[in-house]
Structure 1
Amino acid sequence: MDTATRFSRLIGPLRRAVLRTRRADKDLPDLPEAQIELLRLLAGSGRLTPREAAARLRVAPSTVSNLVRTMSAAGLVERTPSSTDLRTVHLSASAAALGMLDRYDHISTTALRRALGSLSPRSREAIERALPALDELLVALEAEGKGE
């Protein structure tokens, strides 16, 4: 089996294993990954219009509209009307959402640290050395997704 096939088969199970660690905190809601991606985008970018968010997430504007409707009702996303164009709103992550993301990250990072600590030193070093290459791989995949 080639590297791409092996890696492709590992990505999903690894992601789901990390997501399962969040269930350790019973006070955290089990948000769909699409909502978490939107929150991460808003947390890192500040205020965005729904169209800007859709473009950055590479999803349809209607997808962002549906996410925002659900997340606004849950108090996770705040919608602020534009001061210059009443047809436009700006989205931002609420303080509650930012706190939730911090807790998600803390739980996931703690679980990953424990799991990495259970590996042999050689395996930990191999993963650490692979991180820059994984960053490059992400950039290459994103460029491919843009049709570049």
Structure 2
Amino acid sequence: MDTATEFGRLIGPLRRAVLRTRRAEALPDLPEAQIELLRALSEAGALAPREAAARLRVAPSTVSNLVRTMTASGLIERTPSSTDLRTVQLTASPHALDLLNRYDRVSTGALRRTLADLAPESRQALDQALPALAELLTALEDERG
């Protein structure tokens, strides 16, 4: 089996295993798209919907649907732009930022404990693979346009 096939088969189960750590701590089950938008807003402080779509590399309509759902659940706040009254600025609510911090703390803790249980050679291999994985992500995103 080649690297691409094996890696492709591992991505989904790895992601789901990390997501299960969040559920085990009774955290709400937010879709990954919502978490990605919250991360973008957390990093930027505030974004216009079009900026968020560009940053996430999704269609503006996708962000619009996410914003509608997330505003209704109190995760995102919409504020009229101070420079263009036709647009809004999106920010993550304090509740959303707290959830995001808790998700990261739980997921990172689980990953640290699990990595500590691996053989030293496996930990070292994963550590050395991180730059290559970041490069792979960039290349895949560039390919998608």
Task: State the shift of 1:84 in Å.
Answer: 2.7
Deviation of the 1:56 alpha carbon: 1.4
Partner of 1:103: 102
Q: What amino acid maps onto 1:74 in structure 2?
A: S
Moved segments of 4+, more than 6 Å:
none
2:49 corresponding residue in structure 1: 50
Please say if 1:83 is aligned against 2:61. Answer: no
- For 1:99 and 1:86, how far apart are their aligned partners in 2? 29
What residue in structure 1 maps to residue 32 of structure 2? 33
Q: CA deviation at 1:13?
A: 0.7
Question: In percent, how many aligned pairs have the same letter?
Answer: 74
CA deviation profile, 1:14-52 (whole Å, cap 9, x unmatched)? 0111111101222x2110111101001111112111111
| Counterpart-to-counterpart distance in 2, 1:85 and 1:108 | 39
Q: Aligned partners of 1:91 and 1:78: how far apart in 2?
A: 6
Deviation of the 1:12 alpha carbon: 0.8
Q: Determine the C-alpha separation between the residues in 2 that align with 1:122 and 1:11.
A: 21
Structure 2 unaligned residues grouped into runs of 5+ = none
- Displacement of 1:81 in angstroms is 0.3
RMSD of aligned alpha carbons: 1.0
Instruction: Supply the distance in 2 between the matched residues of 1:54 and 1:5 (Cα, whole angstroms).
Output: 30
Q: TM-score, normalised by structure 1?
A: 0.93
SS of 1:114 mapped into structure 2: helix
Say how many residue pairs are matched.
Answer: 145
TM-score (norm 2): 0.95
* Structure 1 unmatched ranges of 5 or more: none
